[in-house]
Amino acid sequence: MPRTSYFNRVAVSKDPLLFTAGDLPKIERLRQRLGDLTGCRVLEPGCGAGPLTEHLSQWVGPEGHVMAFDSSPGMVGRCSARLKHARNILVREGSVEDWDAAQGAWDLILLFRVFPHFQDQPAVLERLRSFLAPSGRLVICHLDGSAGLNAQHAGYEAAVQRDRLPGRAEMWAMLESAGYEVLDGLDEDGDYFFSARWGLHA
Ligand SMILES: C[S@@+](CC[C@H](N)C(=O)[O-])C[C@H]1O[C@@H](n2cnc3c(N)ncnc32)[C@H](O)[C@@H]1O
């Protein structure tokens, strides 16, 4: 898969997408938006080298649990090596399309900087809904808005050049069609944040 080999190469590069100092205020903003996660069970598909996984581990605390996975073996290796001391994280290799998570078990499913890379985005949303606990939330977020991110992708290698983050109206409609109720939907310069839960008629 060209996309997997692309991310395998990113994983061993000098910049495996870890956070810069400039990203940290946005991570704090994300923490505030997510609210108190103490004790939560969090599923993080497409964790990469685990820049956010590390924060999630702290936010859920010792009573919580983070299951992080990625389809790139290189990213999984890098993430596992970086976070091997955290006792509340499990890092595994796998694709969201065939990941076999416990159904109805997750308080939060966090799609952080990964959604554009899914080939069948509506199908992934539908699939993930069944993994959420009845009171659970799905959050899709990026540190850039869709216009900026899609422009960036256009300048990358062919493997990811066409990977696209839907704009606000499109994402909102996609979530509703997949059976979610949208709680928040932001898509602005430097900010993308959607939060959703099981819809009433799902
Ligand atoms: C742009 S990177 C971001 C990684 C991490 N979330 C971060 O913010 O640093 C996207 C990651 O998603 C992974 N990925 C892409 N498609 C995937 C899929 N279908 N299932 C699981 N992981 C996937 C890639 O291997 C890559 O590590």
Which domains does the chain show, CATH number per domain? 2-11+18-198 (3.40.50.150)
Q: Which tokens belong to 202? A: 């799902």
Regarding the beta carbon of 71 and ligand 1, being less than 6 Å apart is answered yes
Task: Look up residue 37 and give its amino acid.
Answer: L
d(CA 132, CA 7): 27
Q: Which residue has the CA at smallest separation from atom 13 of ligand 1?
A: 46
User: Which of 117, 144, 157 best tests ligand 1's pocket when mutated (most atoms within 8 Å of CB)?
Assistant: 117
The pLDDT value recorded for residue 38 is 98
Residues in the chain, overall count: 202
Which residue ranges of the chain lie beneath pLDDT 70? 200-202
The pLDDT value recorded for residue 199 is 81
The pLDDT value recorded for residue 152 is 95
Spacing, Cα 48 to ligand 1 middle (Å): 5
The pLDDT value recorded for residue 182 is 97
Spacing, Cα 200 to ligand 1 middle (Å): 30
Whole-number percent of the chain with pLDDT over 70: 99
The residue among 59, 57, 196, 36 whose CA lies nearest residue 115 is 196
Spacing, Cα 121 to ligand 1 middle (Å): 14
Regarding the beta carbon of 97 and ligand 1, being less than 6 Å apart is answered yes
Regarding the beta carbon of 72 and ligand 1, being less than 6 Å apart is answered yes
Spacing, Cα 134 to ligand 1 middle (Å): 26
The pLDDT value recorded for residue 202 is 60
The pLDDT value recorded for residue 52 is 98
Q: Which tokens belong to 100? A: 């076999």
The pLDDT value recorded for residue 201 is 58
Helices (H), 67-196: 73-82, 121-129, 146-154, 158-161, 168-177
CA distance from start to end of the chain: 33
